[in-house]
Amino acid sequence: MAAEAAAAVLLLIPGTALAGYVLAAGCLAAFSVVILVELRRPVRAPCRCFGASAVPLGAAHLVRNTLLAALVAAGLAVRHAHEPAHPAGVALAAGVALVIAVLLIFLVDIADLFRSRASTSSTREASWSRGR
């Protein structure tokens, strides 16, 4: 958690942004390795990423980390552009990245919500058809 907070702070400071990107990428890589190890176990622990979720670690967490890593790579690519960034463009990019990051952070919870909703609908339909 301290490394994640440090990455966020480093990204906000122009002279240390590169270190922030590297630290963020390192965190994502470490988390992904832990998830891969956990996937090999017969009983999976719930993910405590970004709060208290009851969803066990799974492939969706790896997808989320891969997409977050793509955001890190995009940030690095933009950072190393040869032209100076326009402040309005930076603000727009930061806003879009924030929205995408929040959606990715809650990707697993959103997927679980739809999964449980679909299973509830299936159960309801099955009980309805048995009653006929």
The answer to whether residues 57 and 39 touch, using CB atoms and an 8 Å cutoff, is yes
Tokens coding 79: 């950072």
The answer to whether residues 72 and 21 touch, using CB atoms and an 8 Å cutoff, is yes
The ranges assigned to domains in the chain are 2-131
Residue 20 — very low, low, confident or very high, per pLDDT cuts 50/70/90? very high
6, 3, 73: which is closest to 31 by C-alpha?
A: 3
CB neighbours of residue 12 within 10 Å: 10
| 45-104 pLDDT per residue, tens | 777 766 666 778 888 888 888 988 998 888 888 777 667 777 888 788 788 888 888 888
Q: Kindly report the length of the chain.
A: 132
The answer to whether residues 47 and 62 touch, using CB atoms and an 8 Å cutoff, is no
The answer to whether residues 39 and 21 touch, using CB atoms and an 8 Å cutoff, is no
Tokens coding 62: 């790896």
Q: Which helix (H) or strand (E) holds 100?
A: helix 87-105
Residue 46 bridge partners (DSSP): 56
Give percent above pLDDT 70 in the chain: 80
Question: Beta strands of the chain (E only): which ranges?
Answer: none
Which amino acid, one-letter code, is at 32? S
